[in-house]
Amino acid sequence: MNPRILTVRDEEEIKEELERIGVSEEGKQILKGKGSFYLIKLEGLSSQAANLLKQEMLAIGGDVAVKKEVVSFTVKRSDVLLMGTEAHYRKIIPRLRRQPFDLAIVSSQIKQTLDNFKKDNFTIPLGGKILNLAKKTAIMGILNVTPDSFYDGGRYTCQDEALRRVEQMIEEGADIIDVGGESTRPGSERVSLKEEIKRVIPIIEKIRENFDVPISIDTYKAEVARQAIEVGANMVNDISGLRFDPKLKKVVAKCDVPVVITHIKGTPKDMQDNPQYRCLMGEIISYLREGIKMAEEAGISSDKIIIDPGIGFGKTTEHNLRIIKRLPELKSLGKPILIGASRKSFIGNVLKLPVSERLEGSLAIGSLSVFQGANIIRTHDVKETRRVVDLIRAVMKS
Q: Give catalytic residue positions.
A: 344, 378
The string of DSSP codes covering 175-207 is SEEEEESS--STTPPPPPHHHHHHHHHHHHHHH
CA-to-CA distance for 162 and 146, rounded, in angstroms? 11
Distance of CA 24 to the CA centre of its chain: 38
Q: How far is CA 313 from CA 85, 239, 278, 299, 355, in A?
A: 35, 8, 17, 27, 17
Q: Of 329, 319, 328, 331, give the one whose Cα is nearest residue 341.
A: 319
CA-to-CA distance for 344 and 366, rounded, in angstroms? 12
Number of Cα atoms under 13 Å in the Cβ half of residue 246: 0
CA-to-CA distance for 361 and 367, rounded, in angstroms? 10
Q: Are 337 and 344 in contact (CB under 8 A)?
A: no
CA-to-CA distance for 82 and 89, rounded, in angstroms? 9
CA-to-CA distance for 114 and 391, rounded, in angstroms? 28
CA-to-CA distance for 206 and 160, rounded, in angstroms? 10
Bridge partner list, 80:
42
* Cβ neighbours around 161 below 10 Å, total: 13
CA-to-CA distance for 186 and 282, rounded, in angstroms? 23
CA-to-CA distance for 344 and 347, rounded, in angstroms? 6
List % helix, strand, coil for the chain (3-state, nearest 5): 45, 15, 35
- SS3 call for 378: strand
Please list, in sequence order, all residues whose beta carbon lies within 8 angstroms of the beta carbon of residue 257, skipping any fewer than 6 positions away.
229, 233, 234, 235, 236, 304
